[in-house]
Structure 1
């Protein structure tokens, strides 16, 4: 496990929740998105060892890594009035893989 990466993810969750509480009186909603395995230039350029590229994302329930376009709907929803009663949440877009 990448300890520094895991620590930053935990910090983002904490920051999301604390900012949501702090800013709600100003009408500002704060949410975050926690993507699971998604293809990006990082994966090919050293984010994954080359030997693990063929199986990248296969541990998700969908059995594959996501494509960046598959994150767009979550961001659009969070930016829209459809989520006007949503704040302090972390959305896992993970292909069904559990986030902790």
Structure 2
């Protein structure tokens, strides 16, 4: 308990007890296991470097494997299409804007 909890218990023991119990329940609910070690993360290498330096020596193998997945797996083809559509979108769409005939008076005079 911190100093505030001890002060609340000294003034109102019932409310102080409820506060301490609520904090204990909240700490159980807020138990994150994202960084835990176990069966699911066995052998998982997580270097603290940037993505480019982590892929460094294995970049060619990653490229070969991704190309093979695109050739042989429809889910990979769909994933590539979705990523391309979201990142690139429709691309550069050229458009020509010309003034109205009423605005171009005396242009050819």
Q: TM-score range by the shorter chain?
A: under 0.3
If asked which structure has higher relative contact order (CA below 8 Å, sep 6+), I would say 1
Higher strand residue share: 1
TM-score for both structures, normalised by structure 1: 0.22
Higher helix residue share: 2
TM-score for both structures, normalised by structure 2: 0.21
